[in-house]
Amino acid sequence: MRPDFVKLIEVGPRDGLQNEKQFIPTEIKISLIDKLSQTGLSYIETTSFVSPKSIPQMADAKEVITHINPNKDVTYGVLVPNVQGMQLAIAHQVKEISIFTTVSETFCQKNINCSITESLERYKTVIHLAQQNNIKIRGYISCVVGCPYEGKMSPLAVTNLAETLLKMGCYQISLGDTIGIATPGDIKKLLYVITAKIPVKKLAVHFHDTYGQALVNIYEALHWGIATVDTSVAGLGGCPYAKGASGNVATEDVIYMLNGLDIKTGVSLDAMREASIFISEQLHRPPYSKVTVAQMKE
């Protein structure tokens, strides 16, 4: 079942930076995206067209999407929560959007200020507009294993929601362990249930690394045939509306593991490390990666 090639969805500029308390200057966001565009990645989640009151860090979404230097081999996705965001995505010639909901009613209210059912109603119009404009739609389900407010979530509820989103028009569902509590045992149970109903090529995994489980969870997911993995340069990330959500799994760690498994990604570890060092310096943090590639070659 293990794939020969894994597509990495780089979410650092969006999921990574959205959680930073200090506003990061727009030109730094643009430089990060431009560096990531030269690593071999084929997909970068660039920013969010969300309410700046909810996520102040993404208030410069229009400037970011307008001023990046696009690489023709890269898809620049954006997160969209409602029609207002969709209209902005259309106005900025975005080719792909992600919509996001969850199996936890409480998290849904905190994150997007509506119930799960209301979120699906909202997305009907968003999806209709996207389809009219030939924009592809990816779907996220958050809190697939556990929610900071409601505890454990049911794999069956995740499966039903994923089926609904696929029927509505999403081409893929990214399964979000938003607070990073899953273990490989949880991922096995979830994928056992969901892959009985949904073809694995329509699924991706999106793991935060709160308890250091993200890499082993990805390793488990690979054995179920998962071939799309969301990652974040320098392990940046978190969701301001999910207490306890820490960084996403680091892109460079995932590339390192996949290289060791002879699974191709098309992404250069060296170039990713450079992007990682760049953003770590800009955020005044020590470099994320502990070992340089040069040291590893010695």
Summarize as ranges the residues that interact with ligand HMG (CB under 6 A). Answer: 15, 18, 48-55, 79, 81-82, 84-85, 100, 111-113, 140, 142, 176, 178, 206, 208, 239, 241
Q: Which does 269 bind (CB under 5 to 8 A by kind): ligand HMG, Mg ion, none?
A: none
Q: How far is the CB of 268 from ligand HMG (least distance, A)?
A: 25
| 147 in catalytic set | no
H helix or E strand, kind and range, residue 271: helix 269-282
177 binding Mg ion? (CB under 5 A): no
* 148 Cα distance to chain centroid: 19
Closest approach of Mg ion to the CB of residue 241, in Å: 11
CA distance 243 to 148: 6
Q: Smaller CB distance to ligand HMG: residue 20 or 274?
A: 20
Closest to ligand HMG by CB, 32 vs 236, is: 236
Q: What is the dihedral of CA 142, 146, 147, 151, to 10 degrees?
A: 160
Report the Cα 282 to chain-centroid distance in Å: 22
- Residues 6+ away with beta carbon under 8 Å from 287: 276, 277, 280, 281
Q: Closest approach of Cβ 138 to ligand HMG, in Å?
A: 10
Residues 5-34 that bind Mg ion (CB under 5 A): 15
Paired with 102 in beta bridges are 142
Cβ atoms of 13 and 36 closer than 8 Å: yes
Pick the closer one to Mg ion by CB: 210 or 276. Answer: 210
71 binds, among Mg ion, ligand HMG, none (CB under 5 to 8 A by kind): none
Q: Distance between CA atoms of 140 and 107, rounded to whole angstroms?
A: 13
Nearer residue to ligand HMG within complex by CB, 84 or 125: 84
Copy the structure tokens of residue 68: 């990046």
Scanning 56-183, the segments in alpha helix (DSSP H) are 61-67, 83-91, 105-112, 116-132, 155-168
Question: At closest approach, how far in Å is the CB of 297 from Mg ion?
Answer: 33
Task: Identify the active-site residue in 108, 147, 170, 239.
Answer: 239
User: Residues interacting with Mg ion, by CB under 5 A?
Assistant: 15
Catalytic site residues?
Answer: 239
